[in-house]
Structure 1
């Protein structure tokens, strides 16, 4: 092991140890019988779950709204991420890539702000509802996908592109006919994976008023209507499980 790597690992272990010392974690209280009894009483309040048809319809619409937010936010981010990934990449060894550094700064800024913060900021201009949540997912995910797309483009095998470039073909045509076909399965895989993450994020963005199941959850939990809260949580779990399964099978098909 190199000395630099060893120093880095020791530094990380020291930070982990210091974290345990400074956070004041009360494991004794957390694992006490009183804590378990309190958690048991709290969980018992979730039952029976609310099964009123009118409420189930409302939860169903919230589920559709959450799914639509995640799909639209991810789709917008995939398009914007690819558009920013091209100037953020060095397409070949002689490429001056003047926009590479400033574009990567933009991508870093977009993904450094969490979805909840984006949603809280956008509520001022977009108002309450799913529009702000969709834009929040799109902004954050653009930063994530843009960086991943740029790395994929830069790591693509250069030989096919070089062969066309020596024939005098322009950079855009070279990218479209050689680089993009090579990396598109990986780009799709990254997009589907981020969709999995965004369905979870969309489910909680309603906490700040951005629509979907999260808004229902925040409202009914605030009123201590635990039966209705349990029904909403069950819908969230089911939605996440379905989307995870769909994304997993689609990614497996693309990598065959």
Structure 2
């Protein structure tokens, strides 16, 4: 017995490493196909690297960046900038909160709770989520501006609609990937499905749901700035105005305000994750 174990140990020590590519390896073929697509993308696009890295292009980009790094800090302009920043933060926060609620409501029918779950509405709910997140926020804002008019209300609704599709898909995946043990234990005892979801499934996935929501809140800060291009209010409207007039000092101040907002949201997200992990 000891000799047999010694031989096994020797075989494990001196075993040759696997081949880098095996014809029966599906992962190898998948990686090869992905690399082929990447190289084909480089070949099909007209990437003018020589023009991009030329001295003239670098000189113009440097001059543009220098102008942006000289922000307008006059109080008359900051008095307009601070309310716009607060409006952008409120748009992102309210839009994300609405999306979290409706995303969870759509994630429940879009997920299969257990192996025997028929999930009759799964295909329809997932199709709806695909439609909601496939249409960009900018297009939702244009559609909603017709009904809600110019201002932050249309921008908030546009963020909520698009983010509902994103969070609904993420929530559905989290619910389906939850450990089945606690839910199975309650289901065997005859506990109704609603209570199983409330007491077994959701407590497991709640940290992941909150993490996804906080990340989308940070993304919606940037998305709210883009929506200002179509008159949805906030920092984006100021960015479109001053950038269109080539007022680089004011544009730099708006960009600095966006960076500060994203940093605030990032700190809040980190603090919330620390609290949930305790």
How does the TM-score come out when normalised to structure 2?
Answer: 0.87
Question: Residue 77 of structure 1: which of 75, 99, 113 is its match?
Answer: 99
Q: CA deviation at 1:110?
A: 1.0
Alignment correspondent of 1:94: 116
Alignment correspondent of 1:209: 231
Deviations 1:105-151 (A, max 9, x none): 11111111121222122222221111111111111111111111111
Matched, 1:10 2:32: yes
Matched, 1:55 2:77: yes
Moved over 6 A (4+): none
How does the TM-score come out when normalised to structure 1?
Answer: 0.94
Determine the C-alpha separation between the residues in 2 that align with 1:253 and 1:12. 40
Determine the C-alpha separation between the residues in 2 that align with 1:102 and 1:172. 21
- The question of whether the paired residues in 1 share the 8 Å contact of 2:218 and 2:265 is answered with yes
Alignment correspondent of 2:173: 151
Number of aligned positions between the proteins: 256
Larger C-alpha radius of gyration, 1 or 2? 2
Cα pair distance change 1:86/1:47, threshold 3 Å: closer
Question: Residue 140 of structure 1: which of 148, 162, 169 is its match?
Answer: 162
Determine the C-alpha separation between the residues in 2 that align with 1:210 and 1:131. 7
Question: Residue 198 of structure 1: which of 216, 220, 232 is its match?
Answer: 220
Cα pair distance change 1:49/1:15, threshold 3 Å: same
Q: Which runs of 5+ in 2 are unaligned?
A: 1-21
Greater displacement, 62-71 / 93-102: 93-102
Greater displacement, 86-95 / 155-164: 155-164
Question: Residue 117 of structure 1: which of 139, 154, 157 is its match?
Answer: 139
- The question of whether the paired residues in 2 share the 8 Å contact of 1:192 and 1:251 is answered with no
Output the aligned Cα RMSD.
Answer: 1.6
Determine the C-alpha separation between the residues in 1 that align with 2:126 and 2:241. 39
